[in-house]
Each structure stands twice: as C-alpha cells, then as structure tokens.
Amino acid sequence: MSREKSLESTLQTLQCHFTWDLDVSRSKLLRIRDKLLDIGTEEGYNWLGHIYNLQGFIHFQLGFTKDARMFFGRSTEAFRQIRNTVSDEGPWLLVNLANLAWLSYLQGEAAQTQACLSKMEVLVKDYPSPSPGDLHPEIYAEKGWTMMKFSREHKLLAADCFQRAVRVLPDLVDWQSSYVLALVQAFKHSNKHFKADILDKMKICKDHDPTNLYLAAVFLEERASRSQNVEEEARALARKVLTKPVSSYSGIQPLLRLYSMYVSMDEAIDLAEGALERHPGERYLKRCAASCYRRRILLHRNSPADQSMVDRGISLYKEVISLYPESSFKRKISLANIYAQSSHSSAAAENIFEELLQSELEPKEAQVLYNNYAKHLHVIQKKTHRSIEYHMRAAAIPVQSFYRVNSVGILERIRDRNRNRMCGEIAEFLLHLRLY
C-alpha cells in the first residue's frame, strides 16, 4: 500500500465531521451555518468549541478553505479556554485535531497532517477512554451535539451518543440536557409516543440545569401536549426569557410555539413583538416573529387574519428573507402563501412560485415546492387538475419526507373518492410508484 493510501486509510478511521456521513447538500449547509450564527457566543459559550468546529467543516464544504481554517483555529482556542483545566490539552481536542488533519490532507499539506495525527496519538495515550471499547465521552458528546443539527435520523444517533457520554460522565448537566432534547427532537414529528418516563427525565434535567430556559420551554411544551395546563408557568417563563441575551438557545422559539399551540395565538404575537421592541435589530427575533404571523395567518383560517396582520406578516418575511439571503427557500414559500391571503397583493404569490419553479433546486427543495404549489393551485387558484399534477411531481421524487407522504396521501384520497376525471391516471401513477 502506498504512503498516500495508508494516510487516507488512517484518516478514514478518525472520528470527526469529515467521517460522520453528514448531509453536505448546499442548502442544508447554508441553513445550519445561519443557525449556528444565531446561537450567539454568550448563550452558546459551553458549546463554542463545537460551534466553531462545525462552522469550519461547513465552510470547507462550501469552498471557503481559509474561513474553515480560521474556524478550526477558533475551536482549538475555545476548547482550551472553556475547559479551564491545569492542562490546555485534553481529549476534547480530538475531534478538532482530526478535522485539522483532514483539512491539511485535502490541501496537500502532508507534514501538517502528520503533525495533527501525532498530537492525537499523544492525547489518546494520555487520556484513554474510561470505557474500554468505546469512544472517549468527549467525542461522543461532540458527535451528538453535531448530529442534533441534522435530520431526524441523525437526532436518533445524537441521543445515543449523548447517552453513551453521560453513562461515563454523568455529572455534566449540559450533556444530560442535550440527551433529553435529542430524544424530544428525534420523535417530534413521529406518531410514536415517548416512553412513559420521558417527562420524568426532562424534569430531572430541568432541576439540575435551572438556567437552561430552552429546556424549560420544551418541557412545558411537552406537558401541554399531554393536556396539562401550563399557561401561568409559560407566562412566568416568558418573563425570564425576555431578560436573556438574544439567542436561539434562549428558549424564545419553543416558547412562542407553545404559546401559539396551547396558550393564545394573540399572546404569542404580543410576546414576539415585545421581544422585538427590546431588541429591534436582532434578525433571529424577526425570524421568530415572522413564524408567529405565519402560524396565525395560515393555520387559523377559521378566524381569518385582518389585512393589517397580513401586511405585518408580509413585511416581516420580506425583511427576514433579506437577512437570511442564502437560507430562505422555505421562507419564500411561506411569504407566497401569506401573499395569497392578502386582499390586494395575491398576484405576488404566483410571482414567487413562478420564480422558484424556474430556479435550480435540489431534489428535497423541489419536493417541498411542488407540494406547496399544488396546495396553492387547489385552494387559491381553484385549478384542481394542475394541483394533482404537482402532487404527482412531489410524490415522484424519491426522497422520503413529510411532503412526499402528504402528496401521496392527497392523491390516494382523490383516487378513492373517484370523482375526478384524473382518477384513472392517479391510480396508475400510484401503482407505478409502489413498484419502484
């Protein structure tokens, strides 16, 4: 085996972002990049090393090698500062060093690659895993934190990683809380019920991690979903959240979702607007407020929103799209759907959909667009046959998602009612779909 092949084989055995089989589609990477920026350095302090490591990987995949190297360097320093131990070297640097080794290798820097591998050998020898046969818990924790930023399947793996880390080092409350949050996120869109003890686990973590208001909000949300009255607790938590630095870790997003679904949609909007009054320039809060208006306008059609509310939703979404220019594909669809509810700008909805339909899309994006456009054609344009055609387009894309399942379900209901002249075509399409 050549030296080059031997080095590559060694790199493939490392545990890091380059070997974790992450989704590197451009749209996904851009969304995660923006989400990491919205954490903020103050609220995300304990995870800064992990944040910078993932940012480094993302920037490398997007083609920004210098930025990738800069973020990996920041990660190294963040870990050394945060761990606050006698030695500034430790097992928490293993993933970071592996990332640097890969970056150096892919840039043709053989000497630097070998230097990183040599440092890792020393760390592995000096800090062996407390659990023989397992990875070091620091690696499990970083892998778990990273996986939480990706798909539902990745979140299941994240929960397993944190469970393994906590099993060895049970006193780290950040890891305990992350384990429970990973479980919640993994089953968020599933029909499966949580195990009976999930609330107990969440309560224990909340008691051990009292400053984690994000966990507190998710805990209340889960209780509310089980018909428990949490309105007063939610209002008390809101007062605390509003005093925190603006961050996606502050708890404002799950709290607004809780308000929208279980307390009061109007109170949710008031809370979002109140947060914006305190921090008028924060893009993350504008994003949260825009989502509140979307839910009020599109999901509460039994009590239609007045034109001023629709106008406010449109204004917020246009601003948010300008603030997230490279990760607002779904927001553009939301804006189109809100425009469709307007009494004086419904034509703008069709313009947005047409622009998106003519753009270059990844398969997942196309599926989302076709499903949403099909509903727009049916509900707003009253064009049933074109709507069916776009549901077929969404279903034909071989990507398993909510949108595909939804389009297939709609087609099945049309077929079963047998009232549309396209029923035969739909039946043949669905049969062919199942054959493949």
Three-point CA angle 291, 261, 413, nearest 5°: 85
214 contacts 44 by C-beta, under 8 angstroms: no
The one-letter amino acid at 111: A
Tally of residues, the chain? 436
Per-residue pLDDT of the chain (436 residues; tens, 9 = 90+): 566 678 989 999 999 999 999 999 999 999 999 999 999 988 889 999 999 999 999 999 999 999 999 999 999 999 999 886 656 789 999 999 999 999 999 999 999 999 999 999 999 999 999 988 899 999 999 999 999 999 878 999 999 999 999 999 999 999 999 999 999 988 875 545 555 678 899 999 999 999 999 999 999 999 999 999 999 999 999 999 999 999 999 999 999 999 999 999 999 999 999 999 999 999 999 999 999 999 999 987 667 788 999 999 999 999 999 999 999 999 999 999 999 998 777 799 999 999 999 999 999 999 999 999 999 999 999 999 999 999 999 999 999 999 999 999 999 999 999 989 999 999 999 999 986 5
Is residue 247 within 8 A of residue 210, CB to CB? The reply is no
Q: Could you tell me the two tokens for 24?
A: 């590197």
Distance between CA atoms of residues 175 and 208, nearest Å: 11
Tally helices (H) and strands (E) across the chain: 22, 0
Q: Is the domain 211-335 a CATH 1.25.40 member?
A: yes
Which of 406, 383, 386 is CA-nearest to residue 394? 406
DSSP letter for each residue of 269-320: HHHHHHHHHHSTT-HHHHHHHHHHHHHHHHH-TTSPPPHHHHHHHHHHHHHH
Q: Give the DSSP letter string of 383-408.
A: -HHHHHHHHHHHHHS---SHHHHHHH
Q: Which fold has domain 345-436?
A: 1.25.40
Residues 78, 83, 87: CA angle, nearest 5 degrees: 105
Nearest CA among 12, 29, 171 for reference residue 106: 12
Residue found under tokens 């509810």 = 341
pLDDT of 43: 85
State the number of CA atoms in the 13 A half-sphere of 390 facing the CB: 20
- Confidence (pLDDT) at 304: 78
Concatenated DSSP letters of 79-145: HHHHH--SSS--GGGHHHHHHHHHHHHHTT-HHHHHHHHHHHHHHHHHS--SSTTS--HHHHHHHHH
CA distance 230 to 224: 6
- Residue 367 near residue 401, CB atoms below 8 Å: yes
Cβ atoms 251, 213 nearer than 8 A: yes
- Of residues 71, 70, 77, the one with CA closest to residue 92: 77
CB 257 within 8 A of CB 221: yes
Tell me what pLDDT residue 260 has: 95
Q: Which residue has the tokens 């190297």?
A: 69
Residue 195 has what pLDDT? 57
Tokens matching residue 389: 């055609």
Residues of the chain with CATH 1.25.40.10: 345-436
How many CA atoms does the CB half-sphere of 203 hold within 13 Å? 6
Distance from the Cα of residue 344 to its chain's centroid? 34
DSSP string, 36-96: HHHH-TTTTGGGHHHHHHHHHHHHHHTT-HHHHHHHHHHHHHHHHHHH--SSS--GGGHHH
